[in-house]
Amino acid sequence: MLIKCFTVGSYETNCYIVTDENTLKCAVIDPGAEAGLLLDYLEDNRLNCQCVLLTHGHFDHTGAVEELREETGAALYMHRADDGVTIGGDYYRYRAPEGTLFYKEGDVIRLDSLSFTVLETPGHTPGSVTLLCTQEGSGERALFTGDTMFRGSCGRTDFPGGSIEQMYASLRRLAALKGDYEVYPGHMDATSLDRERRTNMFVLDAQRSYR
């Protein structure tokens, strides 16, 4: 499993390109901006983009979706609850284009040896998801948490559709996963689930509030 991170746009959103190194098929997670940069990477490395996976529908995670799809023909996946999500006015509203595939809890997107399992983790938005990625035969596994879990923090819940109660429930859910995972968030640096269990005050507070 090859994971390449591009930090794009004025909001410094992390876009991930996850590749099966044996077949060069890949998924693009949260292409928020700078489509040309992403397309150049795909072309330079002869990658075949099969799908675009969205962790949620905010504009800083979706800005390059259409250009990427037009150039690659990739399928688009997102949660239906974020179709039309807004963080203020209509300028920020994201409408799922025709042909979008809506995934839900427990769905698995398979890409050769890679599997992306959908975990519903609302709180930042109603349709926020975490993508649990594993690679057959390698033991590698990773969580793409979008704006749910950050290194030492979590996503905002004060936008329309946000909920601190749901965010805390989602953080508890992620913390309760068995074993450790590499964590690739929507903003800021990568981390590990063990580190967040031990040091993330929002995760710790979510667990305390549940007891």
pLDDT tens-digit map of 153-199: 999 999 888 999 999 999 999 999 999 999 999 999 999 999 999 99
Provide the mean pLDDT of the chain. 94
Paired with 143 in beta bridges are 132, 183
Check residue 86 and give its pLDDT: 64
Check residue 89 and give its pLDDT: 62
Instruction: For 41, list phi and psi in degrees, rounded to 5.
Output: -65, -45
Q: How many domains does the chain have?
A: 1
How confident is the model over 75-89, as a mean pLDDT? 84
% the chain with pLDDT above 70: 95
CATH number at residue 124: 3.60.15.10
Check residue 5 and give its pLDDT: 98
pLDDT reading at 208 higher than 90: no
Q: For the sheet containing 141-146, what is the strand order?
A: 108-111, 114-120, 129-135, 141-146, 182-185, 191-192
Instruction: Quote the tokens at residue 84.
Output: 């039309």
Range of the domain at 174: 2-210
pLDDT reading at 85 higher than 90: no
Query: Which of 131, 141, 107 lies closest to 28, judged by CA?
Result: 131
How confident is the model over 98-126, as a mean pLDDT? 96
| Residues 59, 63, 66, 70, Cα dihedral to 10° | -160
Model pTM above 0.85: yes
pLDDT reading at 14 higher than 80: yes
How confident is the model over 41-51, as a mean pLDDT? 98
In whole angstroms, give the CA distance from residue 106 to residue 92.
28
Check residue 184 and give its pLDDT: 98
pLDDT reading at 120 higher than 90: yes
Check residue 165 and give its pLDDT: 95
